[in-house]
Amino acid sequence: MVDAKEAVVAAPVVGLHGVTVRYGRATALEEVSVSFGPGVTGLLGHNGAGKSTLMGVLTGMVRPTLGDVRLSGAPVTTRSSRMQLRQALGVLPQRFEAFPAFRVRDFIGYAAWLRRLPAAETSAAIDRALFLVGLTALADRRIKDLSGGMLQRVGIACAVVHQPRVLVLDEPSNGLDIEQRAAFRDIVRSLDPTTTTIISSHLAEDVAAVCQRVVVLQQGRVVAEDTLAGLIAGTRPPEGPGEHSDGVGPPTVDGPSLEQAYLRVLAANGR
């Protein structure tokens, strides 16, 4: 497996440099330096590992105690650079909320307005976002009449309507059933591959389904960073069909899974 310090990120677009976040005596992130480039990166960790805090720092919602956010290698420390970061971002928060009386199309249009999308481009942008998330037929339905999975699709449409360089999805499959999670994965697979997409999750199967790269957080620290294939390759395969000599994960004849690799990383770092 590639060491975290040696993991290659093609054309880093956004990242954290030496970031520590403290809340009183509690430390949520400690000396985190990580970069994200085009493609889909999964931020994997148990609840409380620091994923949402890291996402908050990236999106400007959380101010780091130490360190800074970097956009295209430059520190985001001035008002101008913070505006550039804001325009570069599309964000789906962990708890997406929308005005229930709005129609789907109108609410996505409201998101486009918030992102200062030119009026002449807005209609086409809304249509493009609706098509991406499979809501074209429901464009005139009111938000209050949508299921949880459909509402999540509206959230993704709002996040991508201005075609952001960086898309941040915080625990996007929370509360979704199996069918809705499958639909969400299809949406992620259809995203522009040049977009830098960051997905936080505590579900290894969701990360394995859509991500090319994985960053593992534990107790506020990055403890592994590699391609999906590289992280899995670091887990020793079974000695024979259906056998595991180490007892980690369920028996398989197909070799190690991301879940096994994730558990091995946690065990190696004292969890």
- pLDDT recorded at residue 254: 52
User: Is 187 a domain residue?
Assistant: yes
| pLDDT for position 239 | 45
Looking at the domain assignment, is residue 88 inside a domain?
Answer: yes
Q: How many domains are there within the chain? A: 1
How confident is the chain (271 residues) per 10-residue block, as mean pLDDT? 46 91 94 96 92 94 95 92 93 91 97 95 97 95 94 95 95 86 91 94 90 95 94 65 40 67 89 63
- Contact call for residues 264 and 35 (beta carbons, < 8 A): no
Question: For residue 63, what are the domain limits?
Answer: 14-96+164-233
Is 91 inside a domain boundary?
A: yes
- Tokens 């005005």 — which residue? 99
**Pair 76, 245: CB distance under 8 Å:** no
The confidence score (pLDDT) of residue 253 equals: 40
Per-residue confidence (pLDDT) for residue 174, from 0 to 100: 80
Tokens representing residue 20 in the block? 């520590």
Q: DSSP string of 189-251?
A: HTS-TTSEEEEEES-HHHHHHH-SEEEEEETTEEEEEEEHHHHHHTSPPPSSTT--SS--S--
pTM attached to this predicted model: 0.86
181: domain CATH number? 3.40.50.300
**Are 37 and 11 contacting, i.e. CB atoms less than 8 angstroms apart?**
yes
Look at residue 148 and tell me if it is in a domain.
no
Give residue 219's region: left, alpha or beta (phi > 0; psi -120 to 50): left
Report the distance separating Cα 69 and Cα 35, nearest Å: 10
> Residues 38, 196: contact at Cβ < 8 Å?
yes
Residue 168 to residue 92: CA distance in whole angstroms = 6
Q: Which helix (H) or strand (E) holds 68?
A: strand 66-71
Q: Is residue 110 part of a domain?
A: no
The structure tokens 């985001």 sit at: 76
> Do the Cβ atoms of 269 and 218 come closer than 8 Å?
yes
- Residue 35 inside a domain? The answer is yes
Any domain includes 200: yes
Between CA 270 and CA 103 the distance in angstroms is 49
Torsion sign (Cα): 241, 215, 163, 134: positive
CA-CA-CA-CA torsion for 48, 51, 54, 55, nearest 10 degrees? -130
Residue 120 falls within a domain, yes or no? no
